Amino acid sequence: MIDLRSDTLTRPGRAMREAMADAEVGDDVYSEDPTVNALERRVAELLGHEAGLFCPTGSMANLLGVWLLARPGSEVLCDAQAHIVRAEMAAHASLHGVTTRTFASVRGRLNPDTVTAMLSIGTGPFLTETSVVEIENTHNFGGGTVQPLAALRELRSRCDAQGVAIHLDGARLANAHVATGVAFAEYGALAETVSFCLSKGLGAPVGSVLVSTADNIARARIQRKRLGGGWRQAGMLAAAGLYALDHHVERLADDHAAARAFAEAVRECVPSAVELADVETNIVVVDTGTKTAAQVVAGAREAGVALSAVGAHQVRAVTHLDVTHDDCVRAGSIIGSVLS
């Protein structure tokens, strides 16, 4: 089976497991795990922030990042396809008392005009106030879309002018960095809080790091404990994250090339199924035409390729560390024949 359902499927390889086995550890609730502390410092420095907090999941890092910035009873503006609003089980509303108001986009691409037209500031007792704008880079359900730096900067200056904070969901920020060459710190400077995932394309088994100011991270550390996320000898997991940062960032370019090769192979059979220009990173959204996504997922599985349905007529393929370039080309040809 060539499994392209997600880049979370990767399993740690031999060298990563050795790094985990050799990690120095301590009790992280006492802030005494040296490997966790090293990972938190490293990601914070990479993104140009003061401090970091290692979290078990990207969802928890987003939950804490938004919590730091959004007053209870205020609203967060985000894309209608944002992970925080579609895939986090309404945690921000049910646990932290914030509502989301969403905007439409093309493939998840940020348009600062759309966002700033929706800001609700000084609306007193009449309308819910906006406290936070949340953005995703790259955009998952949009299809691995990279946010243009100019749009992010424009949003930053308009939010600054209105006193609105920005949370960046950087689950795949490393893919954006590798695709564009924009420095991590440049992206990091554009948001008050950033979540950064180690278990997607970077291939660690578990973990995301939230970065912000030292004061914010001290508060988030308490809230993480409140949510049941105060862990102990987590250094074994942090070691996998450090290994991933050392060895798996630049190779994301291979995943991007494999995604493009997959899309080209699909297009050889069915040119209308995917636009090459839409393949920006490691995610390919394929239009299933007259077939339903469920039919294509089932047909592909029978032929040895696992994909996920992301719409009634859309399936998603995600390339990653555990599939080869040739696997991806072969998978593209198989999907092409299933479609046609």
Residues that bind ligand PLP (CB under 6 A): 57-59, 62, 83, 136, 140, 169, 171, 197, 200, 208
Residue nearest to ligand PLP (CB): 58
Return the number of the residue (316 or 330) whose C-beta is nearest ligand PLP. Answer: 316
Return the number of the residue (223 or 292) whose C-beta is nearest ligand PLP. Answer: 223
Between CA 155 and CA 176 the distance in angstroms is: 18
**Smallest distance, ligand PLP to C-beta of residue 222, A:** 20
Judge contact between 202 and 244, C-beta under 8 A. yes
Between CA 240 and CA 246 the distance in angstroms is: 10
**Smallest distance, ligand PLP to C-beta of residue 303, A:** 27
Return the number of the residue (100 or 334) whose C-beta is nearest ligand PLP. Answer: 100
**Smallest distance, ligand PLP to C-beta of residue 76, A:** 14
Contacts of 247 (CB under 8 A, 6+ apart): 15, 16
Return the number of the residue (202 or 339) whose C-beta is nearest ligand PLP. Answer: 202
**Smallest distance, ligand PLP to C-beta of residue 136, A:** 5
Return the number of the residue (57 or 233) whose C-beta is nearest ligand PLP. Answer: 57
Q: Residue 190 is encoded by which pair of tokens?
A: 């554009």
Backbone angles phi, psi at 283, to 5 degrees: -120, 130
CA 48 to chain CA mean position, Å? 18
Return the number of the residue (55 or 265) whose C-beta is nearest ligand PLP. Answer: 55
**Smallest distance, ligand PLP to C-beta of residue 57, A:** 3
Which residues partner with 136 through β-bridges? 169
Return the number of the residue (60 or 239) whose C-beta is nearest ligand PLP. Answer: 60
CB atoms within 10 A of CB 75: 20
**Smallest distance, ligand PLP to C-beta of residue 147, A:** 12
Return the number of the residue (184 or 339) whose C-beta is nearest ligand PLP. Answer: 184
Cα dist from 295 to 96, 141, 272, 291, 302, whole Å: 39, 20, 18, 6, 11
Return the number of the residue (209 or 273) whose C-beta is nearest ligand PLP. Answer: 209
**Smallest distance, ligand PLP to C-beta of residue 58, A:** 2
**Smallest distance, ligand PLP to C-beta of residue 218, A:** 23
Cα dist from 103 to 111, 119, 139, 159, 169, whole Å: 10, 11, 14, 16, 16
**Smallest distance, ligand PLP to C-beta of residue 56, A:** 8
